[in-house]
Amino acid sequence: MSLTHCDDKGAAQMVDVSAKDNTVREAHASGWIKMSTAALDAIENNTLKKGDALATARIAGIQAAKRCSDLIPLCHHLALSKVSVVFNLNRSAGHIEIHSYCKLRGQTGVEMEALTTVTVAALTLYDMCKAVDNTMLIGGVCLQEKTGGRSGIYRRAEMSS
């Protein structure tokens, strides 16, 4: 399999997608941030000095999807039609699950935008909570599903949170 982001000499290049059809493309990604009970309590009770952590992280994740091409050098700038971020507090695991969904009609996929959404949302939660818990751990960031385009449907075999 050849790498599409490298030319025949191995130099980085942006893929030409101009010949691809415009199709509806969707991607779901997920990850988590593990934290102390005190930090989870502060988020749930909205008592953090910096404010509402989940609302701030949701906005940060959406903004990150919109700016993905500024962060990842060879990503195309995309006209996203939908970005959503959902958080699930999982007390038994001691973490917050982060789920993102990105959608567009275009010539290239939105996997990187969905992954960036989750990552920046997790980093924002870290920033919001670091005064309460500086031992937090971010992990499990992965693509769960993607649809659209020539490669068709991808679903992660083992759904993780």
Q: What is the CA radius of gyration of the chain?
A: 17
What is the DSSP secondary-structure string of 4-30? TTB-TTS-B-----TTSPPEEEEEEEE
Residue showing tokens 């030319």: 7
Residue with tokens 């962060």: 71
User: Which residues form the catalytic set?
Assistant: 127
User: What's the order of all strands across the beta sheet hosting 23-34?
Assistant: 82-90, 95-106, 23-34, 137-147, 154-155
Structure tokens at 56: 């701030």
